[in-house]
A and B are shown apart, each in its own frame.
Chain A
Amino acid sequence: MKIAVVGAGAVGRSVVDLASEYGHEVVAVADSSSAVVADGAAGRNVGVDPDAVVARKAERGIVGDDDPADALAADYDALVEATPTTLGDAEPGFSHVRTALERDRHAVLANKGPVAERFGDLRALVDDSDGEIRFEATVGGAIPAVSTVEDIEPGHVTAVRGVLNGTANFILTRMAAEGLDYEHVLAEAQDLGVAEADPSFDVDGTDAALKCVILANVLSFGAADNPADAREFTLDDADVEGIRDVPGSALRLAAEDGRTVRLIGEATGETVRVAPRLVPENGTLAVSGTQNIVQIETTHAGRLNISGRGAGGPETASAVLGDVGRLE
């Protein structure tokens, strides 16, 4: 497959880097201000060199000398949308995906915004296009959550729950293990690069909620006989509580009783909820550190658990490239 990658953060760069290993050819790469396109304006009649893209991004802050619009117009089979997640109108990610679909090309998203905030709009675009969308990388990084739900069939999945944010899980794990307070562990997580300078998105539960909203959309639209009857979820439909004010003393009380606290997200076709919850200390859902886990409750296949790395460039890129492969 020929792919164009929009977004040159950790995920976008890893996709560029690993594409050839998966048998795909990168024909364009764009970040917010620049692009490099095979057969681009500069008349380079060559493919996109991954090493050169990564080097230019590191040295000059650009991926190439072409215009980002050229990348969207390039001759690709699938557009990989890996720009940062935005809420509300989910722009510019949504427009990137729309451009691809209107050109009857596929789109593979690592950006949660469009799938969480405008799922109905995306479905409508897909209906009018020969292209498809896939978005495995938006939920649980390397964990095949969406495709597993699709394989089981959304109509036979009653709920999906799990630990879907590595930063929050790292903080709760360290607080419980070391008896430290939130602020202390957050500072440590920031030093280690596990938490961002502004950790709100992770610790307030927004990131986990977006993933659950996406799963709720998959369940709702997947189970409906007629997509017009499906309920569309956005972040506003989610009941979200974060971990910011969980005191160390609460974790100690939980531990005395063989339990611990995890930020658990739950999605059904009707509800989305993210909140700190008490779980057995040695239970399946009490994964440690930055690990994620997705637990799928089914009508005929019992309960499935998939744990693994929920973030990271190569991990998330593997989900993106897996999606590209499914579109072939």
Chain B
Amino acid sequence: MSDARDGVPEGAADDEDATPDGGHAATTPSTHTVRLELVDEPGQLLAALHPIADNGGNLLSIYHERGNKTPRGRIPVEVDFEATQERFEGIVEALRSEGVNVMQAGTERYAEEVTILLFGHLIDTDLSDTLSRIEACESASVADVSLAAPQGTEESSSARLRLEARAGETEAALAAVQELADEKELRLVEPLTGVEA
């Protein structure tokens, strides 16, 4: 996927200010979101925010999903902050070394979204198992599913899946889905990635 700033005139102007070696992405702060998993005990949230602030992250928002529990019975927290790419990497490292479980770390710029079609005996081959196994693969998560089973559950049906892949891992994610499709004798229609212009 191309850089989101491609073709935007302001981006070109910014580039002139970028240092020759550091480049634009490394020196300009951008918004990052990390998804953390906290034990439900007092002080845990504060302990998780310290590594962010201490390593040059500018906190923007905290979404504390108290009503929601992760499969391990912990509380998911989403934290948005601004940092340069270099500092962001340091922050994630610091969080992990403090023992905070970082479930997801990325910037919008780095999230690759990809739409695929699957067709075949989706229902008979256990669609929820198919989805949870895609979800379980490290490179991608399923953001959205639409199913069309016009001839009832026994005939061939189709699904459109929107996957969110981690930066640079779209191909790995597609390969994992292909492997799963082969195993279940489903057909996968991949997008023509990188050629969408």
Give the B-binding residues of A (Cβ under 8 A).
161, 241, 245-250, 252-254, 256-257, 259, 261, 264, 275-280, 283-285, 295, 303
Contacts and interface: CB of A to CB of B under 8 A. Distances in A.
Ranked nearest first, the 9 interchain pairs of A and B with the lowest CB-CB distance are A249-B148, A250-B158, A253-B160, A249-B158, A278-B191, A277-B192, A250-B119, A250-B117, A276-B189
A277 B115 CA distance: 11
Interface in B145-166: 146, 148-150, 156-160
Contact of A161 (B148, B157, B191, B195): B195
Given A277-B190, A278-B115, A253 B156 contact: no
B157 A249 contact: yes
30 contacts: A161-B192, A241-B187, A245-B156, A246-B119, A246-B187, A247-B119, A247-B158, A249-B148, A249-B150, A250-B117, A250-B148, A253-B117, A253-B146, A253-B158, A254-B160, A259-B115, A261-B117, A264-B192, A275-B190, A276-B189, A277-B189, A277-B192, A278-B116, A278-B117, A278-B189, A278-B191, A279-B196, A280-B196, A283-B196, A303-B197
A211 to B, nearest CB: 17
Contacts of B159: 253
Contacts of A303: 197
A257 B156 contact: no
A249 B196 contact: no
B192 A278 contact: yes
Interface of B: 115-117, 119-120, 146, 148-150, 156-160, 187, 189-192, 195-197
Contact of B195 (A245, A250, A275, A295): A295
Contacts of B192: 161, 264, 277-279, 285
Contacts of A264: 192
A256 B146 contact: yes
Nearest to A245: B187
Which residue, of B148, B160, B189, B190, has the highest number of chain A Cβ atoms within 10 A? B189
A256 B189 contact: no
Secondary structure at the A interface, as helix, strand, loop or mixed, is: mixed
A308 B150 CA distance: 35
Contacts of A295: 195
Contacts, number: 75
A68 B115 CA distance: 54
Contacts of B120: 245
Q: Which of B120, B158, B190 has the most CB of A within 10 A?
A: B158
Contacts of A277: 189-192
A253 B150 CA distance: 12
A285 B115 contact: no
A275 to B, nearest CB: 7
Contacts of A247: 119, 150, 156-158
Contacts of A253: 117, 146, 148, 158-160
A281 to B, nearest CB: 11
A249 B149 contact: yes
Given A249-B158, A252-B148, A253-B160, A285 B117 contact: no
B173 to A, nearest CB: 15
Contacts of B117: 250, 253-254, 261, 278
A15 to B, nearest CB: 35
Nearest to B146: A253
A89 to B, nearest CB: 32
Contact of A279 (B146, B158, B191): B191
A257 B146 CA distance: 10
A77 to B, nearest CB: 41
Contacts of B195: 161, 279, 285, 295
Contacts of B190: 275, 277-278
Contacts of A279: 191-192, 195-196
A261 B189 contact: yes
Contacts of A254: 117, 160, 189
A295 B194 CA distance: 13
Nearest to A253: B160
A81 to B, nearest CB: 33
B73 to A, nearest CB: 36
A256 B116 CA distance: 13
A245 B116 CA distance: 16
